[in-house]
Amino acid sequence: MVLSENQIWQWLEDVSDPEIPVLSVVDLGVVRHVDINHDHPIVTITPTYSGCPAMNEIEENIRKKLKEEGLETIEVKTILSPAWTTDWMTENGKKKLQEFGIAPPEGSSADKSVLFGKAKQVTCPKCKSTNTSMISQFGSTACKSLYKCEDCKEPFDYFKCI
C-alpha cells in the first residue's frame, strides 16, 4: 500500500477532541500539517490554548488511530507558531458545534472589539435568538465563555473567538 497524505487526513477525521467529542481534531484546526517521510507519517499539531489539558490526549489518540490503521512509526510534532485561531475551525466543525448546543465563534479573530469591552452578538444554539447575554467570560473549558439566552432562558457555552 502506498501511503498518501489524503488518506491520513481522512483517518484523522475519526480522532475526536476529548473535551468536545463532536469535533474531530481536523474540524478544530489543531492539525496543521501531514507529511510523509519514507512511509512514516509526521503529523504536526498546535495547541488551542497554552494550558489546554487535552493536548497530550489528542497526541495519544492520533498515535492510537494511526496504529490501528497499521502504521508503525508515527511522529507527532507540536508547534506554537503560527498561534491557533478559531478562524481555522472548519465550517463543518462550526455546524457540528451548533447542533451539539455550543454557539460557534462569531466572525473573525481579527475583530478586536472584545478588547474594548464590546460584547459580541452571540446566537442561542437552541432557539436561534440573538437576545443573549454573557454570564462569564470564562466557561467550562479555556476555549469557552458562558452565555444565557434571554428568550428561551437556556444557559449555553460560547466558543470564544481568538
DSSP 51: T
In angstroms, the CA 150 to CA 135 distance is 11
> Could you tell me the smallest distance in angstroms from the CB atom of residue 160 to other proteins?
8
Instruction: Please select the residue that binds other proteins; options are 13, 47, 90, 106, rule is CB under 8 A.
Output: 47
| Binding mask of the shown chain, residues 74 to 103, with x at each position contacting other proteins by CB under 8 A | -----xxxxxxx------------------
Kindly list the distances between the CA atom of residue 109 and the CA atoms of 48, 50, 86, in Å, as whole numbers in the listed order: 13, 17, 7
Alpha-carbon span 95 to 158, nearest angstrom: 13
CA distance 97 to 140: 15
Exposed, middle or buried, 144 (CB in 10 Å: 0-12/13-18/19+)?
Answer: buried
Taking CB under 8 A as the binding criterion, the range among 24-32, 42-50, 61-69, 125-133 that sits at the site for other proteins is 42-50
Vertex 156 angle, CA 154 and 161, to 5°: 145
- Contacting range for other proteins; rule: CB under 8 A; set: 22-30, 48-56, 64-72, 89-97: 48-56
Q: How far is CA 112 from CA 100, 133, 137, in A?
A: 27, 19, 15
Q: Which stretch binds other proteins (CB under 8 A): 6-14, 67-75, 92-100, 110-118?
A: 110-118
Contacts with other proteins, 113-152, as mask; x by CB under 8 A = -xx-x-----------------xxxxxx-x---x------
Closer to other proteins by CB, 44 or 85: give it.
85
* Site residues, other proteins (CB under 8 A): 47, 49-53, 79-85, 109, 114-115, 117, 135-140, 142, 146, 160, 162
